[in-house]
Amino acid sequence: MTAKFISFACIRKESGDLSPRPHYPSMPKYPKGVRVSSDEEKFMQGSEAKALFSVLGMTCSACAGSVEKAVKRLPGIKEAAVDVLNNRAQVMFYPAFVNEETIRETIEDVGFEATLINDEANEKLSQVCRIRIKGMTCTSCSSTIESALQALPGVQLARVALATEEAEVHYDSMILTYNQILEAVENTGFEALLIGTGGDRCKIHLQVDGVRTESSMRIIGNSLQALPGVQDINFDPELKKISVSYQPDLTGPRNFIEIIESTGSRRYKAKIFPGGGGRDAHREEEIKKYRRSFLWSLVFTVPVFFLSMIFMYIPGIKHGLDTKIVNMLSIGEILRWILSTPVQFVIGRRFYIGSYKALRHGSPNMDYLEVLAKGKTSEAIAKLMDLTPDTATLLTLDSEGNLLNEEEIDSRLVQKNDVLKIIPGAKVACDGFVIWGQSHVNESMITGESRPVAKRKGDMVIGGTLNTNGVLHIKATKVGSESALAQIVRLVESAQMAKAPVQKFADRISKFFVPLVIILSFSTWLAWFLSGKFNGYPKSWIPSSMDSFQLALQFGISVMVIACPCALGLATPTAVMVGSGIGASQGVLIKGGQALESTHKVNCIVFDKTGTLTVGKPVVVNTKLLKNMVLQEFYELVAAAEVNSEHPLAKAVVEYAKKFKQDEENPVWPEALNFESITGHGVKAVVRNKEVLVGNKSLMVDHQVHISLDAEEILSETEGLAQTGILVSIDKELVGILAISDPLKPGAQNVISILKSMKIRSILVTGDNWGTAKAIANEVGIDTVIAEAKPEHKSEKVKELQASGNVVAMVGDGINDSPALVAADVGMAIGAGTDIAVEAADIVLMKSNLEDVITAIHLSRKTFLRIRLNYLWAFGYNVLGIPIAAGALFPSTRFRLPPWIAGAAMAASSVSVVCSSLLLKNYKRPKVLDALEIRGITVE
């Protein structure tokens, strides 16, 4: 079956609708500066058009956000919704300002392949497969493979990542199979291994003992396929392995084992397939393979070294080695030939095979390998994956919650709704919530926050975190690939697959580099050969052990060997991989190379207020009644109106109102009729036959509610204290004012001060009133304030700043921040914020600390400084190395570079670039952040 492509923060049920989840509010309809009259607007409303595009290459919500961001910046875009699951984008636009081709080109400029869908019925669903590729050394290699894959009929998109040694291929399963894709990769001279097909939500590998025939395998497969939630089953008869893709909401691995063992009169036994078989296992196997080849090479090469470099200077031995025996061939030459042949044509045959296949496809490469060094660049993923414990303690409870049984199981067998016991010092096996017990959990391995977090009944826990004290019983809610840890791993993997824009420069150079080097090599040999033939240099220049032809050949070979596009191709991806991995360990999730590159250019940051600069847990601190009425009755009416709102201020009011019903655990509020949420203003409802308005001053003015001078004074005084004043009217009469305070986050003032020292301008944009906004801004040190801003106003301000030549970052946490997060060059979402804000952002700050804004920018700057140093070294090496190898110094100094030294220098250049990137592993955030005194805030 066609597998569903699932990615971080995009896991949801299939639906016929293009965008089953709510997407971001619309961008402004018309371009900035274009004035449209009411008649013209009516005409425009009737002339709007809709276009549906197939967008290939999207792997996660960051990709979808990039496409939306680019499209919504175009003039005349009414709405744009991107569905990463089905690889589609639906755009509502005004043809007077923009057309389908411009939209398509804009999507392709972002880095994805876009096609206008004219007949949706004819559009085939795309299959996705991921492949591990062994033997790539430079961008020329990855480009060769990409070109070969793109040439296959049915391939819609092929993306090859050099640093991760992986490829992702989107193809039409009606035309092509993944086996044909693997064959195409191997035909280019590289080894290919299938990692997986599709975007299966969860996948488990089981080993089945007792199976003797393929018929038995099919019977087991049919039994498993009948289970609800099973999506796909693959067999490997040789290894007796069954791979099952499934939906964790409906089934799980323990069910599979039970079904297998109950099939065939219980003669089959099933267990988790031993060994990880993951990226590290394959890399270690590859390293061992090359180590063996190296050691065998030494067995033959060391004697050659002694014969050529040492024995030739020992008189007695030299005479014996120089003895001619066959056609003027000496004993020494024959011995060297015999010893060199196995190294060249047995141990080194893979180089010749690869070169032949590469030449056959018209894309020669410079095949050398730095497996061990490159492997270290992806250690961040390996460390994240190692956080999950090997075992878990499963509890069996009766209907009343009494313990019936306790057993230790493999953590991969945990299923949704299982109850697990977490003892002190043990890691949490999966995401879930506490149903019994109290403890503190160290979440630093996930969020980077070192302070243990208190956990009690009802609190959420994250898989991979460490229980420090106390015993907890948790109920599993997200297992396998649904867990937060798996999503973080998937996001980091996706970020490391994505290329930074700066890498396109290296890709363009590498495309022409190898042919150019071959031409230079041949030209060098020809120039020296002709010079020697026609006495262009003295005969004394020629060493006694060779003639002019051999001298020319040596110069040509040295040029061929020393030239290295590998270092150039590794300069960017290795640094991006290490940088994104370090970011993840610091609690800063960077969604790809483009986000990392844009962040180092940021010179202006737009901050939301609630939940970003402030704690985001506002509390009612004062109540002023303007009419005689019972306070409990007043709060019952207010809470009834506000209980249906998701706004943080509304929740604060409802929580405060609960204090007047202390005798009730879950108070029931009066029914609210005709409820209406007015974005940016407040709410309106009918409660007990009374019209209740709860909101800001603008809401009251719009509904003709008179605001007295006393009320104005109370509001002014409230706002002067950096508190938010909420007005309440009943039947068009103002009856009360609530003062709500949302304390600043610890260190907010210092963060703004540090940003100023980094020459980054800070701006506050909030939907709150002017008085509160200015008071908050003054407290933290922000000069520019925009208050009472609706969601579209925030994105408009971002666009205005961009039009002024600024590179803008937006920091927010709410749904109303999503348009601005998409519009900004870099969207930073506070990790504790809403899912849609996290999905829209380019960077997620897991700890919800403002200091991490500085960490993200500082890390980006350090990463791109490292990339520049890598490029400087890669270019400098080739600019200096090629002329020296060609003999530029030979006429004046008689210095020449033997091919074996040139080869060593070439390998060293690639390793040095990778090691340069690995130095980022020593990254430390700015010391000024360590000096900040960060204190926790408790809100009762």
Residues with a catalytic annotation lie at: 608
Instruction: Report the 3 state secondary structure along 761-777.
Output: EEEEECCCCHHHHHHHH
Q: Report CA 154 to chain centroid distance, whole Å.
A: 27
- Look at residues 517, 562, 569, 498 and name the one whose alpha carbon lies nearest to residue 871: 569
Q: What would the two tokens of residue 275 be?
A: 């060994």
Give Cβ neighbours of residue 647 (< 8 Å, ≥ 6 apart).
677
Give Cβ neighbours of residue 608 (< 8 Å, ≥ 6 apart).
765, 766, 794, 810, 811, 812, 813, 814, 817, 820
- Look at residues 683, 676, 851, 823 and name the one whose alpha carbon lies nearest to residue 754: 851
Q: Which is it for strands 604-607 and 761-765: parallel, antiparallel or unpaired?
A: parallel
The Cα–Cα gap between 737 and 46 comes to 45
Q: Are 841 and 827 in contact (CB under 8 A)?
A: yes
Cα dist. 351→134, 367, 369, 713 in Å?
13, 7, 11, 83
Q: Are 440 and 580 in contact (CB under 8 A)?
A: no
Instruction: Report the 3 state secondary structure along 373-414.
Output: HHHHHHHHHHHHHCCCCCEEEEEEECCCCCEEEEEEEEHHHC
DSSP 626: S
CA 35, 41, 47, 53 torsion: positive or negative?
Answer: positive
The Cα–Cα gap between 641 and 629 comes to 18
Residues counted in the chain: 940
Cα dist. 854→526, 603, 717, 922 in Å?
56, 12, 34, 17
Give Cβ neighbours of residue 752 (< 8 Å, ≥ 6 apart).
762, 780, 781, 782
Q: Which residues are bridge partners to 724 per DSSP? A: 740
Q: Report CA 848 to chain centroid distance, whole Å.
A: 18
Alpha-carbon torsion, ordered 772, 776, 781, 786, to 10 deg: -50
Q: Report CA 96 to chain centroid distance, whole Å.
A: 37
The Cα–Cα gap between 586 and 852 comes to 8
Q: What would the two tokens of residue 411 be?
A: 């953590």
61-82 CB burial, b ≥16 within 10 A, e <16: bbbbbbbbbbbbbbbbbbbbbb
Alpha-carbon torsion, ordered 855, 856, 862, 865, to 10 deg: -150
- Look at residues 443, 355, 378, 827 and name the one whose alpha carbon lies nearest to residue 582: 378
- Look at residues 379, 386, 365 and name the one whose alpha carbon lies nearest to residue 496: 379
Q: Are 380 and 580 in contact (CB under 8 A)?
A: yes
User: How crowded is residue 607: how many other Cβ atoms within 10 Å of its Cβ?
Assistant: 26
Q: Which phi and psi (to 5°) does residue 547 adopt?
A: -110, -175
The Cα–Cα gap between 660 and 722 comes to 26
Q: Which residues are bridge partners to 166 per DSSP? A: 132, 161
The Cα–Cα gap between 659 and 449 comes to 33
DSSP 808: E
Give DSSP secondary structure letters for 891-920: HHH-----HHHHHHHHHHHHHHHHHHHHGG
